[in-house]
Amino acid sequence: MPNVTPPLVVALAYDGLCTFEFGVAVEVFGLPRPELGPGWYRFAVAAVEPGPLRAVGGLRVEVDGGLERIDEADIVIVPGWRGAREPVPAPLTAALRRADARGARILSICSGAFVLAAAGLLNGRRATTHWRYAALLGELYPNIRVQPDVLYVDEGSILTSAGSAAGIDLCLHLVRRDFGAEAANSVARRLVVQPHREGGQAQFIETPVPTAREGARLGPLLDRLRDTLTEEHTLASMAATAGMSLRTFLRRFQALTGMTPGEWLLTERLSRARDLLEGSALPVEEIATRAGFGSAATLRHHFRQRLGLSPVRYRARFHRGVSVPATG
């Protein structure tokens, strides 16, 4: 994008700033990334109120601009809020409504959804927040279609994420929308996090961090499955490769990944198909084969079920600059 002004991302800072959520915005959008070219995001911080501002953990924050920075933003990030029932200043809600009216994208992390709700930007829309606050969000704002059991919700120009770490998933999702899978993977590698998790995935899993023993036994299996997505994998064959009984394998796989083996394989195959749709000119039939779906019809079925659109529509939205066929 050498001839286009890079998008300006503006993150909010406020008294009581949620340090982790703010750090996520800085890490994903605020660091220079020359390896990704000259079109990478510009970044600024907008103070919601006069400073210096206190941040969680005893820090003080001083910024160069106030709410006027929102009027310049292409993307606005609300990194949490100081409390679900804490009032949101009228100048802030007005600035967010102006940004929405002119087409800026607005993203909230964790309790930041309450700021968007106070501005009226979530009325009639799907949205999520941390699972601890989801019921309260629906109670305070009954016009919102709260989804308590997902990582993030993309409603086009309005995006919301669940708990703090889900903000990373949503920010990487936005990078993927804007710059493609390779850029999102590059950012994820620097963060040392999984490059992509579906927004519909559960907010928490039984064992978020595997024990060393289970990681040693199941880690190589997961790597092998990713390398052989085109092959048929049965529960019995996976359990045998892991050296476990079927019952033990199912229990430990679920605890490690938060999914059944079938769900995990489907997610990996969809991820492979998405990468191929975004970065190649291969016909959909060939992509279905390479991703392990066997047929284009099966690929279309799972795309519509998981993503709400066909492979062709997904490619039209996310493909990066290679001539592709119009059918499939």
**In this structure, what are the phi and psi dihedrals at residue 119, rounded to the nearest 5 degrees?**
-80, -5
> Structure tokens of 111?
């309790």
Residue type for 225, please?
Answer: L
Identify the active-site residue in 13, 76, 78, 110.
Answer: 110
Q: Which residue has the tokens 């029932």?
A: 85
H or E element in which residue 162 lies: none
Residue type for 132, please?
Answer: R
Q: What distance in Å separates the CA atoms of residue 175 and residue 187, rounded to the nearest whole number?
A: 9
> Structure tokens of 306?
């998981």
Q: How many CB atoms lie within 10 A of CB 294?
A: 12
Go through 207-229 and write b for each residue having 16 or more CB atoms within 10 A of its CB, e for each that does not. eeebeeebeebbeebbeebeeeb
> Structure tokens of 36?
């990704």
Radius of gyration of the chain (CA): 21
- Angstrom CA distances, 201 to 108, 148, 152, stand at 18, 11, 9
CA angle 279, 283, 289 (to 5 degrees): 95
Residues 98 and 32: beta-carbon distance below 8 Å: no
Q: What distance in Å separates the CA atoms of residue 127 and residue 123, rounded to the nearest whole number?
A: 9
Annotated catalytic residue 110? yes
The residues annotated with a catalytic role in the active site are: 110
